[in-house]
Every structure is written in structure tokens, then in C-alpha cells.
Amino acid sequence: MSQCPTSTSLPDGAYEALFTHGIDGFLLASPEGEILRANPRACELLGRSEAELIEVGRAGLVDRRDPRWVEAVERRGRDGAYRGVLRLRRGDGSTFPAEVSTALLPGGDTPLAYVSFRDMTAAEAEAARTAESRRAAAEVVDSLESFSDMYFGVDADWRITYINAQAEARLGVSRDDVVGRDLWQHFPDLLGTPFEEAYREAVRTRRPVTVEACYAAADLWAETRVFPLRRGGLGVYFRDVGERRAMEQERERLLTAERRARTDAERAQHDLAHRATHDDLTGLPNRTGLVQQVGAVLDRWPVAGMTLLFIDLDRFKLVNDSLGHAAGDALLAVAASRLAELAGSTELVARFGGDEFVMAMFDASVVAADRMAAAVIAALSEPVETGARLAVTASVGMASSAVPADLDTLLREADAAMHRAKDGGGGRAAWFDEQMHLQSVHRVRTERDLRLALERDELFLEYQPAFDLRFERITHVEALVRWRHPERGVVPPLEFVPVAEEAGLIGRLGEWVLGRVVEQATRWAHVPGLRVWVNVSPRQLADGRMPDVLATHLARAGLGADRLGIEVTESTFADSSCMAAVLEEVRALGVAVAIDDFGTGYSSLARLGDLPVDVIKIDRSFVQDLGTARGEAVLSSIVTLAHALDAEVIAEGVETLEQLRALSVLGADSASGFLLARPAAPEHLPMVLADPASARPQLHPSVARVPRELRVH
Ligand code: C2E
Ligand code: MG
Ligand code: MG
């Protein structure tokens, strides 16, 4: 502390003036504590007159509860002076803090003490306030530190003023490095982000702003609240919401996936429903679709009558086979659209598979139906360009009935009428009539009974042998199926095999026949070189399983493949070109293939060479023609050609000796027919010898009658 300069003494009256006008309270007292004088400021501060002060003395001015007083008394006693803060009492009993300085006045005979004091109320309050705000600030900082949220503050110049521990850790910075630094310089990745926008908006609007965005530099999805501070600058709270966002995103992803799955399922459901009722190729309703739509029309409108047009393209199979399926499909698609156009919005049209279409007309007169049939035939016979120019005709069968109609029956009737139109040469329409009705009823019954027949084991086989014309022995037998109907007696195959084919029962029937034939052939294993032929319908070959089925049967029975042959009709080859491949597989097994009823069907002699067959069975009708020059010429050329192709020729239906002779002369290899043997149960066949050891089959007497010189050797 510097010494007061003493060189210049105060002028006279200065002390008195300081005493009287001083800003501090001033008391003059005896060392014992009697107050001798008090200045006006002291009177003012202590709320007493000078006289009163003199009366209460120094001790009466102090708040004795103030612990500092004891210390003050001690200090003064020891040092003769004291300086410090004490609480003083006013005249009204209230107290106030005062900075008090007391000491003995130097000089003079009677020692005097002075007390000067000033009111510290305001200063103390200010100090308390400062302490409080310090404490509060410390508390804020503490709480900012203990926050789970992250926080940093910037001042009005974007200088970072504070950053809490969480923010340090998450942002990977240290407080010492960032505090005092420019926010944008230190975190340049904030520039151009929604965060920058939010900070600036908070500064501009003086309102808190909330923003949620990703701070890529720290791979941080932050929910941020920006508070403008009163003193300027910003406080920025933010929290990592990455997990929540990930959960939200996952939820969103799941929701989207679920939504997509639901849509997919609905679409699939719809597709399924559509596919179940519609035809893929033409988009027209299929059979199920037609049944549904007819039902819907009948439900909705007061319809009295319904007419069905069963439409079938003539010789469509030829198009398919010769030009390929693509051309066939194109043709069907065009046909479908032409029919749909004719049907308009009043009639229904559907595709029943293959080249069959059905149109349903409601309350149509016979004339209107006839007109529609003619329009259909005309429309379908218009040429179609599918790479090649195709022209087909169509056959239409018509049937009508009053509503409610049995749609199945009506369809069957229209179908039957269509077949009649076809039989009449195609390209025409025909109505279903009474006779057809009876036939169709009969057919329905046959189908129903046939199903039962398969279950009740009403089918049986007869075998008809064929004789080698050169070696005079039985070369093979043909298995022929029969049905012992409980009411109709024995039904011939031509009456039920076609029904089985149409009703989809031919597979089961064929399996049954094959099983029995293989069994029987095994029983005939002792007869040398005997082959058993079995008739197979085209539909049995369609799925391509025949080679496997045959192989399985042979293996199971332990039968040599050379003991079995299958007969197929010429129409088999007309149906599809892949049949030939299936038959090649059958032959590869060692099972022979015969073309049955040759000459009645579709193949021309010229095509014979393309057919994968071992045997040609000449139809009975040619045998009957023998005796005429033309008949013999035809037969002769078949035999010649067949032999040139290394195929055997068997003539069927030989009923007379003349026929047998003629066949022998023409060079047919074998013959069968009522003349030689009727189809019969296996036990009645001539080759069943009493003694299997002498296994040479008997020569049939009729064959024996053929003069030796006529036999071809
Ligand atoms: P197909 O295979 O041509 O059989 C020959 C048919 O001619 C047999 O008629 C037979 O009884 C008959 N027949 C034999 N010799 C003579 C004769 O000298 N004069 C006359 N008028 N007829 C004779 P069936 O048994 O009525 O068989 C008819 C057709 O039924 C068979 O013709 C064959 O195509 C078919 N069929 C027979 N069995 C089966 C079978 O198991 N499966 C299949 N898919 N069709 C069979
Ligand atoms: Mg046959
Ligand atoms: Mg035949």
C-alpha cells in the first residue's frame, strides 16, 4: 500500500468540511466507546440524531449477534485499529452491513478514536447476486455436462463458447480445441446443411428452431433444437436419433414390404381367379369362366331361352402340325378376336381349349342364331396372315333350350351338333336334333356306367390270332377289350372306347388292358415267337409316358419286349408330330409298333415311309375289295411298299377263303379274320396246347386249305 503524501497538509477547515459533508459516516469516540461527535452522514445511516448517538455510545451501534463483532473488538484492543465489515444497528432496530474502519487519532492529550463507516447493503447484495449467478452458471454447466443430450453454444460472432462432454465424444473433438474457434471453420461440413439453415433462422427470427437431419461428417442423425441466447449467439441441443430413425426406417421398410406383399398377394389372387376363368392365349373366358358368366346373366336378367353355338375350326390340327404351334396360336388368337367382335356386348364367347369356342346367345330366335352361325363361319373363313396366309373353315353346332337350362347338357348337345356339321364336310352349321338327343343321352349313360365298370371289373379281353401265311402258324394275337354290361350284355369296344377317350377314362382303361395283356403274354411264354398286340388310342400316347409304362410292365412281369406290340391308328400320326418320337422310343425298347386300319385314315401311301412302324395292318375294307381289280391293285401296292420299307403286312377281317388266297398271292405276311379265328378267351385259342412241351402251335385248318403252290415262300 502506498503512503499518503504528507508534504502538503490540508488547509484549515478541510477536516471540518470532510466531517460535515463526507460521504461516509464518521464518529468521534473516546477509547472507552463514548461517542463524542457524529457527522450528518453517520446520523443518516444510523437513523439517529447526534444526541441519540452520544447517548447510546459506540457499543449500542453494533449488532452484537454478528460474530465478526467479537473479532473486531479483539483486533481493536490488540492493534488499536480495525477494518472490516460489521452489521450496525439503526435507531429503529434494523441492521445493515457496513464497512467499518476504526483507529485511534494520533496526537493530542486525550486519545480519541474515530470510526468511519459506509453502508455496504448495495455492495453486499451485488456480491451476493454475482455469487448467485456464478453458482447458477456453474450449475447450468454441471447440468449441461450431466445431460445425455449434446450441447454446444456459440456467441453472436459464431465463436464456439462451450461444448459439453457428450458432444465432444460424439463429434470427436476436444473442448480445448474448439472453444473460441469459429463454428463454420471448425465444422465446415455444417455449411449447406439443414443445420446451417436452422442456426441462421434462429438468429434471424430470435425463436427456437427444431431440425432433424443427418450430419454426414459424424455419421450422425440428429434431432436438433437451436435456442437463441439472450446475450446473443445460440445454444444448440442435439441428440442422436440414429437408432430411432433406423427403427422407423425398419418399420417403414417392413410396412412397405408388407404392403407390397399384400398387393402381390392380391394381384396373385386376382391372377389366379382370372387364370382359373380365362384362357391365357386368347384372353377369352374358359369353360369355368363361361359357366360363371352365364350364371351371372341368368341371375341378373329375366332370360327365357339360351342358345349355344359350339364352334370348332376344321382341320386346325393340320395347321398346327404343318406350320407349328406358333402359327396355330396366332390363328386361334385371330379367331378369338373375330368371335369376340361378333359377340359384341350382348352375347358371351369363350374358348374351351384347342380350337373349340362356344358362344352363348340369350333369347335369340332360331333365325338370329342361324344368322350368327353364318356370320361366325364367314368371319372365321377369312384368311389369316401369320407369316403364311392361312385359311380355315369352321363347323358350328347349335343347341337351345328354355331357361333354366342344364348348361352341361346344352354344351354336349351343341358339341354333338358340331360333330355332325363336321361329318357333313365342315364349314357349315347344324342344329342338335331329337335323334342326336337320344345318342347324347346314351353317351352320358355309357360314360357313367363305364366309370363303374372300371371299378367293378366288368371289362375283359378276348384275343384274336393271326396266321403266318408262309409258315402256317400263329404269329401273334391281338387283344380286344369287351365290357360285360350288367344290363346291355357284352358291349363291343367301338361303343365305349371313344366314350372313354372323351371322358378322360382312356388312361385308366388302357392301363388295365396293358396290365392284363402283359400277364397273359407271360403265360404264353412257352409259345415260340408269339407276339401279343394291344390297341392303344392316341390319347394314351399324348403325355409321352407310354415308353416308361411299357418298360415298367415288361420289367415287372419279366417279359421280353419282343413279346409285345402296340397298334395305333393312322389318326395318331395326324394328331401330332411328337407322337412319332414317342413311338420311336417304344420301338427302341424292342416293343413292335403296328399301324392299324391302314388305308382308312389320313396317311397317304407316300407318307408310309415316314411312319415309325414295324407292321402295317390292312383294314378290313381293303380285304373286302379283293376280287375286284382295283382292290387287288391297291393291296398289291401297299404290300410292295411295306416290304420295301421292311415292314410286315397283316391283313385283317379275312372272311373267305378267296380273300385268304388272294392275300397269299399278293404276298401279305399274315392274316386274321373270322375265317381263321374269332376273337376268344385265351383258353379257347388254338395255340393252347395240351402239352406245352410240344410248343408248335397247330396250323389252323383254314390256312392249311390254302393250296401250297399259292403260298409265298
Ligand atoms: P381293330 O383293332 O381293328 O380290331 C379288329 C376288329 O375287327 C375287332 O373288332 C375284331 O373283332 C374285328 N374283326 C376281326 N376279324 C373280323 C372279320 O373277319 N370280320 C369282321 N366283320 N370283323 C372282324 P372289335 O373287337 O369290335 O374292336 C373294334 C376296335 O376297337 C378295334 O379295331 C380297336 O380299334 C378298338 N379296340 C379294341 N380293343 C381295344 C383296346 O383295348 N384299346 C383300344 N384303345 N382300342 C381297342
Ligand atoms: Mg387293332
Ligand atoms: Mg384294325
What domains are defined for the chain? 22-121 (3.30.450.20), 147-240 (3.30.450.20), 287-432 (3.30.70.270), 463-479+505-710 (3.20.20.450)
Closest to 481 in 3D by CA, of 467, 471, 505: 505
Among 357-361, 363-367, 420-424, 706-710, the least confident range: 706-710
* pLDDT at 570 (0 to 100): 77
Residue 652's alpha-carbon distances to 265, 451, 465, 530, 594, in angstroms, are 61, 31, 10, 18, 12
Mean pLDDT of the region 224-239:
90
Contacts 24+ apart (CB under 8 A), 147-152: 147/237, 148/239, 149/237, 149/238, 149/239, 150/222, 150/237, 150/238, 150/239, 150/240, 151/235, 151/236, 151/237, 151/238, 152/178, 152/235, 152/236
Q: Atom 17 of ligand 1 has which residue's CA nearest to it?
A: 653
DSSP secondary structure, 542-584, as one string? TTS-HHHHHHHHHHHHT--GGGEEEEEETHHHHH-THHHHHHH
Q: Which atom of ligand 1 is nearest to the CA of 675?
A: 18
Backbone angles phi, psi at 420, to 5 degrees: -70, -40
Mean pLDDT of the region 236-260:
89
Using the mean position of ligand 3's atoms as its centre, give its distance from the Cα of residue 41 in Å: 152
pLDDT tens, position by position, 338-370: 999 999 988 999 999 789 999 999 999 999 999
3-state DSSP of 338-382: HHHHHHCCCCEEEECCCCEEEEEEECCCHHHHHHHHHHHHHHHHC
CB 554 within 8 A of CB 524: no
Q: Using 50, 70 and 90 to split pLDDT, how confident is the model at 13?
A: confident
Side-chain-facing half-sphere of 454: CA atoms under 13 Å: 19
Cβ atoms within 10 Å of 54's Cβ, excluding its own: 16
* pLDDT at 237 (0 to 100): 92
Using the mean position of ligand 2's atoms as its centre, give its distance from the Cα of residue 534 in Å: 7
* pLDDT at 689 (0 to 100): 33
pLDDT tens, position by position, 497-511: 999 998 889 999 999
Greater model confidence, 139 or 286:
286
* pLDDT at 54 (0 to 100): 92
* pLDDT at 6 (0 to 100): 52
DSSP secondary structure, 113-157, as one string? EEEEEEE-HHHHHHHHHHHHHHHHHHHHHHHHHH-SSEEEEE-TT
Mean pLDDT of the region 11-16:
83
Using the mean position of ligand 3's atoms as its centre, give its distance from the Cα of residue 273 in Å: 46
Using the mean position of ligand 2's atoms as its centre, give its distance from the Cα of residue 442 in Å: 25
pLDDT reading at 106 higher than 90: no
Which secondary-structure segment (H or E) carries 101? Answer: strand 95-105
| Sign of the Cα pseudo-torsion (5, 8, 12, 18, in order) | negative
Render the burial of 501-526: b for 16+ CB within 10 Å, e for the rest: bebebbbebbeebbebbbebbbebee
Contacts of 653 (CB under 8 A, 6+ apart): 619, 620, 621, 623, 624, 672, 673, 674
Range with the largest mean pLDDT of 356-365, 577-586, 624-633: 356-365
Q: Using 50, 70 and 90 to split pLDDT, how confident is the model at 316?
A: confident
User: Whose grid coordinates read 449467478?
Assistant: 133
* pLDDT at 637 (0 to 100): 86
Cβ(674) to ligand 1 under 6 A?
A: yes
Mean pLDDT of the region 315-327:
80
* pLDDT at 474 (0 to 100): 83
Q: Which atom of ligand 1 is nearest to the CA of 672?
A: 15
Using the mean position of ligand 2's atoms as its centre, give its distance from the Cα of residue 473 in Å: 20
Residue 295, all three cell numbers: 350364371
Cβ atoms within 10 Å of 492's Cβ, excluding its own: 11
Please give the radius of gyration of the chain, using alpha carbons only, rounded to the nearest integer.
61
* pLDDT at 231 (0 to 100): 84
Q: Using 50, 70 and 90 to split pLDDT, how confident is the model at 7?
A: low
Share of the chain above pLDDT 90, in %: 48
* pLDDT at 468 (0 to 100): 85
Mean pLDDT of the region 15-37:
88
CB 571 within 8 A of CB 538: yes
Mean pLDDT of the region 615-629:
88
Cβ(596) to ligand 1 under 6 A?
A: yes
Mean pLDDT of the region 587-594:
96
- 506-523 and 434-456 helices, crossing angle to 10°: 50
* pLDDT at 713 (0 to 100): 35
Residue 453, all three cell numbers: 365298370
Q: Atom 37 of ligand 1 has which residue's CA nearest to it?
A: 480
Q: Atom 16 of ligand 1 has which residue's CA nearest to it?
A: 653
Cβ(597) to ligand 1 under 6 A?
A: yes
- Residue 713: exposure state from Cβ atoms within 10 A (0-12, 13-18, ≥19): exposed
pLDDT tens, position by position, 109-153: 778 888 999 999 998 899 889 998 888 878 777 777 777 788 999
| Nearest-angstrom CA–CA distance, 517 and 540 | 16
Best of 467, 480, 678 for a ligand 1 pocket test (most atoms within 8 Å of beta carbon): 480
Backbone angles phi, psi at 55, to 5 degrees: -75, -45
Q: Which atom of ligand 1 is nearest to the CA of 480?
A: 38
Q: Using 50, 70 and 90 to split pLDDT, how confident is the model at 3?
A: very low
Q: Using 50, 70 and 90 to split pLDDT, how confident is the model at 473?
A: confident
Using the mean position of ligand 3's atoms as its centre, give its distance from the Cα of residue 653 in Å: 8
Mean pLDDT of the region 505-528:
93
Using the mean position of ligand 1's atoms as its centre, give its distance from the Cα of residue 463 in Å: 10
Q: Using 50, 70 and 90 to split pLDDT, how confident is the model at 604?
A: low
Q: Using 50, 70 and 90 to split pLDDT, how confident is the model at 389?
A: confident
Cβ(235) to ligand 1 under 6 A?
A: no
Q: Which atom of ligand 1 is nearest to the CA of 464?
A: 14
Determine the residue type at 542: A
* pLDDT at 520 (0 to 100): 95
* pLDDT at 31 (0 to 100): 80
Closest to 171 in 3D by CA, of 244, 238, 246: 238
Share of the chain above pLDDT 70, in %: 92
pLDDT tens, position by position, 71-80: 888 888 888 8
Cβ atoms within 10 Å of 371's Cβ, excluding its own: 12
Cβ(570) to ligand 1 under 6 A?
A: no
pLDDT reading at 387 higher than 60: yes
* pLDDT at 43 (0 to 100): 94
pLDDT reading at 379 higher than 90: yes
Mean pLDDT of the region 184-198:
94
- pLDDT mean across residues, the chain: 87
Using the mean position of ligand 2's atoms as its centre, give its distance from the Cα of residue 575 in Å: 18
Cβ(679) to ligand 1 under 6 A?
A: yes
Cβ atoms within 10 Å of 632's Cβ, excluding its own: 17
Q: Atom 38 of ligand 1 has which residue's CA nearest to it?
A: 480
Greater model confidence, 307 or 569:
307
* pLDDT at 601 (0 to 100): 58
The length of the chain is: 713
Greater model confidence, 361 or 709:
361
pLDDT tens, position by position, 553-563: 999 999 999 99
Among 397-411, 517-531, 603-617, the least confident range: 603-617
Beta strand spans in 486-538 (E)? 489-491, 531-535
Residue 467's alpha-carbon distances to 528, 620, 698, in angstroms, are 14, 16, 10
Using the mean position of ligand 3's atoms as its centre, give its distance from the Cα of residue 597 in Å: 4
| Nearest-angstrom CA–CA distance, 149 and 222 | 10
Cβ(282) to ligand 1 under 6 A?
A: no
Among 98-112, 357-371, 478-492, the least confident range: 98-112
Q: Atom 35 of ligand 1 has which residue's CA nearest to it?
A: 493
pLDDT reading at 274 higher than 70: yes
Q: Which atom of ligand 1 is nearest to the CA of 501?
A: 44
Using the mean position of ligand 3's atoms as its centre, give its distance from the Cα of residue 568 in Å: 9
Best of 477, 517, 535, 658 for a ligand 1 pocket test (most atoms within 8 Å of beta carbon): 535
